[in-house]
Chains A and B, each alone.
Chain A
Amino acid sequence: MIATLLVVLQVVVATAITPLLIGVMRQVRARLEGRIGSGVLQPYRDVRKLLAKEPLRAEGSSIILVAAPLVLLVSSLLVVALVPLVTTANIPAVPNDLFVVVSILLIGTVALALLGLDAGTAFGGMGSSRHMMIAALVEPTVLMSVYALSIPVGSSTLSKIVVARGADVTRVVTPAGLLAVVALVVVVLAETGRLPVDNPSTHLELTMIHESMILESAGRDLAWLEVGSWLRLTALLGLVVNLALPWGLADSMQPLALLVAVVTLGVKLLVAGGVIAAAEVFMAKVRLFKVPELLAGSFVLAFLAVTASYLAG
């Protein structure tokens, strides 16, 4: 029961903080590029605006146009509920097994890809094709980093991994642990469509991946898509920061522990988001056919992490 309450709290906190995270990232980027920026609260206003706007449905599109955004949103919420962000507690029947988390992310990925195909436009298909190619090539790295992280703990359950890392600082700084986290960072950038894989603020359709799949959506459909994708970023980024700095998470309903957990999560997320945004200013998008090389590189890191933990263990 307590675990369920904690998970509910985690979903609420993470959902509330997500637009702020996006706002901070955009603002950091704007300031570094010499613009004033629209303020860190702009994403909240965007969502409110989109929810009040009229959704359009183009002739020839199907139920996918309505369903896919909702599927993406619910799958992202489910990921947020499962990943240890605020709490390491989890509902006993639904442990936050990393393989399950990854497959739920894939549901969102597939929903987006089908949405891109649904209207039958050239750009939608293009985005969908590229999106799925990257998803397919990211998969080995994802599962390999999961593997590397699970070896020292003997379990692929996320909260166990985070707790074990938090209990023993030396685990965090082992070569295997570091390699796995670095590989996971590349995965997060690819999965959430950040530079250098995809440019979230591009206006040129030919270079778009994520944006070109959602071109046909308007109003609340677009709002669900935006919030769903943002939540993915929160969940994955939160996972990485909690693996790298596995402290401050609550495992009980103690008000003080909860407060600490929420504040730590906020600080970790915003700092990590700010760092990513700052790095993006100095980075160019790689050519699409260079992306596999980047992913292969991160796969090698994860593979080394696995063999290192077998040999060093």
Chain B
Amino acid sequence: MTHLSFLSLATGFALVASKAHSTTFTQISAAQITGPTGIAAFLLLLIGFATKAGLVPLHVWLPRAHPEAPSHVSAVMSAAMVKLGVYGIILLVGSWLPQVARPFAILVLALGVLSGAYGILQASITSDLKRLLAYSTTENVGLAVTAVGVGMLLSNAGQDAVATIALVAALLLVVSHAAFKTVLFLGAGTILHATGERDLDRLGGLIRSHPVTTWTFGIAAMGAAALPVTSGFAAEWTLLQALVHGDGRANTTLALALPVTLGLMALTIGLGLLTFVKAFGMAFLARPRSEAAATPAPEFTSKPGSAAMGVAQAIGALSVLALGLAVGPLATAFSSVLGYSGIITSELGGLRLVTIGVLDPYALGLVAVGLAVPVALLVLVLRRRVPRRETDLAWGCGGVRTSPRMEYTATSYAEPLVRVFGEALRPTRSLEVSHHAEDHVLEHRVAFAQEVSDIVEDRWYAPAAVWLRVAGDQARRVQNGSIHRYLAFSFAALVLVLVVVTLP
């Protein structure tokens, strides 16, 4: 995939550079390239950057590469490297080829929306923690590109103010994703270190042995699930406001694209919530589901220097919260970079979209605290009057505590989703029932297996790989080892180049 991406980027840049007679970004923007060259260059560069960003259907490298890399490397890959793709797309549609890009707004939007929904759907059903995080990266990048696409579509319809808000939302999404995904990958790494497991089906109960990882992962998961008052929430709120304030009466495309985008984005948000409840709940809560999870290595003390990991996680989690609290100044800075004055910092330091609304995490927090105080007082009084009692079993229903195998696992948690989205996911199931020899009514063993693979990979890439192999076999005929034939090829190529160059 890297080669494919490089190939399309190199060709795209070659096309642009040949027209602009320069390779600097300013010259390329100034050249105002249009026509067939512009379109070809735009599509090639879009493919290149979309591959780098891990957008569906060019995402297949991401869920394979991220789980295998060491976790801190995954963190860098997910938090910073894929963002280069987003950066490229923003430059492409905003600066290099904006005049070509406009008609392709729907394409960019579709790439973003589909990546968001497909990425999170895959993330919600996988039980491999790092694979889950990798797919969630596709989702988040998809949301950022959705915001870019919405911005393009709106500016195409002449609604530049709202378009800029969408673009600011894209930048907020990128920044907040970098913060929380770093913590999540570091947390996954700590879990892997402690238990040797990254399969959520075999984890559990780490809240007792790994408190720092639990809380940092929890805060980051809140950011990933876009709950207030994290940065993820502020970013998605901004994008939603841009969506509902775009005027769909302008044209039919907009009247359809805006609600469809909102619907799919809402599904993405909803599934994201489920995904991170599952990831957090399965890894840290309940009872250990395997021997390794029951006897984890102690947190941050198993190796010299691993305390630094705890510090890194804590810094990351704090920055998730800080970005959520500082969203006002941050968004103001982004919007002033874009030359837009419609986003300002509100009185208490929140985010105000002039004429649209205000999101003030401090004020919201104050109201919440104001409501929590009477509740807390009541709890304090009651705690003195009726103390809590520890028991070994509060409510058992058939002695469920006898075996951790009776617990819900990550796979069973996502089972309803696999059923609901069965058409889109196409799981392969097998059910084998063997009966007792003496009586066919009695069942001896029941074996059930279910596997959900990436349908894009199976349906598109597998056939493509077959074709490539066939083409490669055919191409080998050309290469028969005769030096004469190779010389003839060189001569033919030279003639061809000369003919092309001499053409007007």
Contact = CB atoms under 8 A, between A and B. Distances in A.
Interface of A: 11, 51-64, 66, 70, 73-74, 77-78, 81, 91, 93-95, 97, 99-100, 103-104, 106-107, 109-110, 113-114, 117-126, 128-130, 132-133, 135-140, 142-144, 146-147, 150-151, 154-157, 205, 215-220, 224, 288-289, 292, 299, 303, 306-307, 310-311, 313
A128 to B, nearest CB: 7
B367 A94 contact: yes
Contacts of A128: 277, 281, 408, 413
Interface in B217-256: 225-228, 233, 237, 240-241, 243-245, 248-249, 255-256
A103 B360 CA distance: 14
B397 A118 contact: no
B286 interface: yes
B371 A11 contact: yes
Given A63-B207, A220-B379, 5 more contacts: A93-B358, A99-B237, A120-B407, A136-B124, A144-B263
A74 B347 CA distance: 25
A59 B393 CA distance: 7
A97 B359 contact: yes
Contacts of B419: 289
Contact of B382 (A66, A137, A154, A220): A220
23 contacts: A11-B371, A53-B386, A60-B401, A62-B207, A63-B207, A70-B372, A91-B363, A93-B362, A95-B358, A100-B364, A104-B228, A110-B227, A120-B401, A126-B412, A135-B273, A140-B266, A142-B266, A143-B262, A143-B269, A151-B244, A151-B248, A154-B245, A205-B397
Contact of A70 (B256, B367, B375, B387): B375
A123 B397 contact: yes
A1 B391 CA distance: 48
A100 B397 contact: no
Interface in B365-385: 367-368, 371-372, 375, 379, 382, 385
A130 B416 contact: yes
Contact of B277 (A114, A122, A147, A218): A114
A135 B269 CA distance: 10
B404 interface: yes
Contact of A147 (B243, B286, B389, B408): B243
A206 to B, nearest CB: 11
Contact of B420 (A61, A123, A289): A289
Nearest to A154: B245
Contact of B227 (A56, A63, A107, A147): A107
Given A106-B273, A119-B394, A310 B346 contact: no
A49 B299 CA distance: 42
In which size bucket is the chain B interface?
35 or more
Contacts of B311: none
A252 B371 CA distance: 22
A38 B345 CA distance: 54
Contacts of A73: 375
Contact of A144 (B228, B259, B404): B259
Given A117-B408, A128-B413, A54 B249 contact: no
Nearest to A127: B408
A57 B400 contact: no
B348 interface: yes
Nearest to B374: A77
A55 B243 CA distance: 46
Contacts of B407: 120-122, 125
A122 B400 contact: yes
B17 interface: no
Contact of B389 (A52, A55, A310): A55
B291 interface: no
A114 B389 contact: no
A164 to B, nearest CB: 15
B65 to A, nearest CB: 27
Interface string B42-86: 000000000000000000000000000000000000000000000
Contacts of A136: 124, 267, 270-271, 273-274, 417
B346 to A, nearest CB: 7
B177 interface: no
Contacts of A58: 391-395
Contacts of B269: 139, 143
A97 B69 CA distance: 42
Nearest to A112: B277
A98 to B, nearest CB: 9
Contact of B285 (A117, A151, A205, A215): A117
A57 B273 contact: no
A99 B389 contact: no
A23 to B, nearest CB: 21
A129 B408 contact: yes
A122 B228 contact: no
A100 B359 contact: yes
Contacts of B256: 307
Contacts of B280: 114
Contact of A132 (B274, B287, B371): B274
Contacts of A299: 263
Nearest to A136: B270
A60 B204 CA distance: 11
A216 B394 contact: yes
A106 B227 contact: yes
B477 interface: no
Given A59-B392, A74-B371, A292 B420 contact: yes
A113 B237 contact: no
Contacts of A151: 244, 248
B236 to A, nearest CB: 8
Nearest to B214: A62
Nearest to B286: A120
B273 A147 contact: no
Contacts of A135: 270, 273-274
B275 to A, nearest CB: 9
A121 B388 CA distance: 21
A55 B357 contact: no
Contacts of A54: 386-389
B365 to A, nearest CB: 10
Nearest to A160: B357
B282 interface: yes
Contacts of A307: 255-256, 259
Nearest to B360: A93
Contacts of A157: 357
B394 A57 contact: yes
Contacts of B388: 54-57, 66, 219
Contacts of B395: 58, 121, 215-216, 218
A97 B400 contact: no
